[in-house]
């Protein structure tokens, strides 16, 4: 399995730029006989639900455009912060 990763945090413009760069890397890899199978858009999503909800639709558009060009690509995302931060805060409050 081969992949390209583009995790850049919570800046939607950087996601577009990073996914565009991955597109160039996927093209180059194909030219030299290598076929990537995974696009990992990384993690680093903000723990702010509002920020995530603001950027998610645009990131989804960028990924959709990418997967139109590479339909057999698996896309991974690691939204750990957005999922875990509230549980950790509650746990910390209970323990302290």
Reported as type and span, the H/E element at residue 3 is: strand 3-5
Confidence class for position 70, pLDDT limits 50, 70, 90 = very high
Going from the N-terminus, what domains does the chain have, and what CATH number goes with each?
3-95 (3.20.20.10)
List the structure tokens of 85.
């931060």
Asked whether the beta carbons of 46 and 52 are under 8 A apart, the reply is yes
pLDDT in tens, 11-57: 678 888 999 999 999 999 999 999 999 999 877 666 665 577 788 88
Distances (CA, A) of 25 to 29, 75, 87: 6, 15, 37
DSSP secondary structure of 74-94: EEE---HHHHHHHHHHHHHHH
């Amino acid at each position: 399995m081969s992949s390209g990763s583009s995790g850049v945090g919570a800046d939607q413009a950087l996601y577009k730029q990073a996914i565009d760069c991955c597109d160039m890397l996927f093209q180059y890899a194909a030219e030299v006989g290598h076929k990537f199978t995974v696009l990992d858009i990384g993690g680093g999503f903000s723990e702010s639900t509002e920020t995530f909800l603001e950027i998610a639709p645009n990131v989804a558009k960028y990924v959709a455009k990418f997967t139109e060009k590479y339909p057999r690509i698996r896309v991974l995302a690691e939204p750990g912060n957005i999922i875990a931060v509230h549980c950790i805060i509650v746990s910390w409050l209970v323990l302290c």
